[in-house]
Amino acid sequence: MEQASDGHSCACALQSSGVEQSLQELEFERGIWSAALDGDIVRLRGLLSSGVSPTVLDSAGYTALHYASRCGHREVCECLLLSGADVNSQTPGGVTPLHRAAYCGHLSLVETLLQNKADPKLKDSDGRNALHKAAQGGHYRVAKMLVSSLPALINTRDKRELLPAEIVKNSNTQWTKLLTEHIS
């Protein structure tokens, strides 16, 4: 399985080498995950109304909400949440939908997830929370929203003992001020 841009493996990275598709690829393509990844709200609603669970995991442990969050499909995320998707679902590597939205810089989606009780303190297998992911992706406005929702995130160290301020991509004084003013 290949790695997505945020460093975590997911089934959407599967690529068929020829005309034939593996069963795993077919399952993904026909499943709720593909509809979420593509932002296909009509297909998603059809799958949900036919009884597909919004919490079903793909072969890598990701939910449709993980895929929609990574791609910034807010309407799809809202539909999944209204249908009972777990906003704090974690993959085997600890990745949450909020991690994915924060890393990719989807500000309005981060807001939606937080409003639906996403826990910004949850950590992935690297010990990184949503603020670490926003800093890693270089998304200042997302980081600012996360700090506003929970200032203590600034003081959280990952497994390498790095604070979010220490992993900022393209750091500048704006970032430095945001990520250091609450350090205790």
Paired tokens of 41:
């709200």
Q: How far apart are the first and last CA of the chain?
A: 40
Three-state DSSP at 9 gives strand
Is pLDDT larger for residue 23 or for residue 126? 126
Is pLDDT larger for residue 2 or for residue 73? 73
Is pLDDT larger for residue 5 or for residue 60? 60
pLDDT in tens, 31-50: 899 999 999 999 999 999 99
Read off the amino acid at residue 9. Answer: S
Q: Please report the pLDDT score of residue 168 as a whole number.
A: 85
Which residues are 86's β-sheet partners?
A: none
- pLDDT level of residue 53 (50, 70, 90 thresholds): very high
Dihedral pair phi/psi, residue 34, rounded to 5°? -65, -40
Three-state DSSP at 89 gives coil
pLDDT in tens, 126-159: 999 999 999 999 999 999 999 999 999 999 999 9
Mean pLDDT of 68-87: 97
pLDDT in tens, 161-178: 999 988 986 666 787 788
Read off the amino acid at residue 183. Answer: I
Which of 9-13, 26-30, 112-116, 158-162 is predicted least confidently?
9-13
Dihedral sign of CA atoms 100, 102, 108, 114 in order: positive
Paired tokens of 80:
């999944």
* DSSP state at residue 174: H
Is pLDDT larger for residue 76 or for residue 18? 76
Domains by residue range for the chain, with CATH: 11-180 (1.25.40.20)
* pTM, rounded to two decimals: 0.84
Which residues are 9's β-sheet partners?
A: 3
